């Protein structure tokens, strides 16, 4: 969630490995660019570095929560789908569980369907991933990427490694967010990515995350 403006060269290299994976294996799925490999702009690549690059003394990723603000029609679902697939197959987590969630199931399917189309368009991923209606299975790693309903009460008891939370700014209560993030304790380097366009509600989980990140950047609070 914190934008670290100064990254070590090692952190930049680790982040670039993720960005390189995205550009190698993932593609656009809609519009005139459909089927063409994703090309990350410099700012997009830097964002990946800042999330995936820094590690602690134990070698594990430091960032556990990221908030990604993206304008409408700027390809947020496509990028989120690519990162979800990375966490599914290449993040080094045995038995990874990755989830696409949102305030309603149809919204959550935007990210999942983008990932599904990427897999179907890639001969390499198609050899290793099985695509079903509501999940994608990485058979070699005993891992799943699933789309979930919006009912937070039903999602306790999961063991997520990665969560893509779409349109976080319209989430009516923090219940679903808390249900997903509270189940990550057994994972070595879990990551929740909240995606949002512009919002105005200061009584929301989205604004709480934004405000926390802003206070960390200004030095008002220390980021654990």
Structural tokens at position 98: 């990755």
User: pLDDT at position 2, please?
Assistant: 42
Read off the pLDDT of each residue in 155-164 and give the average, rounded to a whole number: 85
Question: What confidence score (pLDDT) does residue 77 get?
Answer: 86
pLDDT at 218: 55
Cβ(145)–Cβ(156) below 8 Å: no
Does residue 221 or residue 106 have the better pLDDT?
106
Is residue 107 a contact partner of residue 172, using CB atoms and an 8 Å limit?
no
Alpha carbon of residue 127 to chain centroid? 23
Split at pLDDT 50, 70, 90, the class of 203 is low
What is the per-residue pLDDT for 3?
A: 47
What is the Cα 7 distance to its own chain's centre?
20
pLDDT value of position 221: 55
> 107-151, pLDDT tens digit by residue?
889 999 999 999 999 999 999 999 998 999 998 788 999 998 766
Band of the pLDDT at 12, cuts 50, 70, 90? very high
Confidence of residue 74 (pLDDT cuts 50, 70, 90): low
- Please give the pLDDT value at position 115: 96
Average pLDDT score over the chain: 84
Comparing 35-44, 149-158, 160-169, 214-223, which segment has the lowest mean pLDDT?
Answer: 214-223
Read off the pLDDT of each residue in 152-162 and give the average, rounded to a whole number. 75
First-last CA distance in the chain:
11
pTM: 0.86
Does the pLDDT at position 181 exceed 90? Answer: no
């Amino acid at each position: 969630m914190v934008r670290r403006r100064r990254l070590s060269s090692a952190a930049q290299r680790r982040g670039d490995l993720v960005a390189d994976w995205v550009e190698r294996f993932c593609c656009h799925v809609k519009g005139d660019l459909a089927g063409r490999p994703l090309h990350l702009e410099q700012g997009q690549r830097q964002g990946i570095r800042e999330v995936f690059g820094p590690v602690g003394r134990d070698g594990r990723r430091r960032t556990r929560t990221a908030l990604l603000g993206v304008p409408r029609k700027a390809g947020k679902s496509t990028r989120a789908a690519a990162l979800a697939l990375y966490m599914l197959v290449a993040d080094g987590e045995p038995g990874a569980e990755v989830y696409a969630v949102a305030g309603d199931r149809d919204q959550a399917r935007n990210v999942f369907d983008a990932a599904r189309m990427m897999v179907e368009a890639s001969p390499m991923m198609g050899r290793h991933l099985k695509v079903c209606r509501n999940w994608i299975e990485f058979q070699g790693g005993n891992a799943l990427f699933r789309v979930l309903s919006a009912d937070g009460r039903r999602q306790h008891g999961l063991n997520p490694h990665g969560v893509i939370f779409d349109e976080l700014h319209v989430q009516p209560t923090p219940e679903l967010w808390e249900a997903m993030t509270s189940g990550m304790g057994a994972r070595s380097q879990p990551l929740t990515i909240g995606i949002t366009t512009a919002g105005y509600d200061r009584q929301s989980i989205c604004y709480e995350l934004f405000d926390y990140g802003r206070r960390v950047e200004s030095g008002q609070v220390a980021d654990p």
